[in-house]
Amino acid sequence: MQNRPRSLGALTLLAVLPAISGAALPSTDVVASVTGLRSTRGQILACLTARPEAFPGCDNDPDARRLTVPATTSPLRFGSVREGRYAVALIHDENGNGKLDKHLMIPREGFGFSQDAPAVMGPPRFSSASFPVGAADEHLSIKMRYMF
């Protein structure tokens, strides 16, 4: 009985020690290579989210990682994220207007998703594109697809 309070105190100290010392929560770098670009014109718009309801556009996700880089840039570096499940959506914005151009609801520019999740009658669900992020850095390969 006498050791119990000391043990509890030691456990409490271990739990708050990272916060006291300023240590960050464990995080992992996420890096994506893009394959299948038909040109180096324009830019790549990329989005990484952990929220299924925000996928694929990262809408209303303040924690989403968004990148806008020249189409000549590879790999895409999203930086450090906490462990969890994430999904990535890409757009090859060839004309640089900051959006996916469509004609009769069919994309005229390239798009891609993590896990190379298929787009059938619209973007894939988060569950099809999501991947786990653990303790080791995560390296993805995402194929750009074009309809026209």
Q: What is the pLDDT of residues 119-146, one digit of tens each?
A: 998 999 999 999 999 999 999 999 999 9
Residue 4 in domain: no
Rounded to 5 degrees, what angle do the CA atoms 73, 43, 122 make? 115
Report the residue count for the chain: 148
Cα dihedral 97, 101, 103, 107 in deg (nearest 10):
160
Domain count, the chain: 1
Residue 16 belongs to some domain of the structure:
no
**Looking at the domain assignment, is residue 131 inside a domain?**
yes
Q: Tell me if 7 is assigned to some domain.
A: no
Is residue 109 in a domain?
A: yes
CATH code at 58?
2.60.40.1120
Residue 74: pLDDT band with limits 50, 70, 90: confident
Mean pLDDT rounded to a whole number for the chain: 88
Q: Name the residue range of residue 129's domain.
A: 26-143
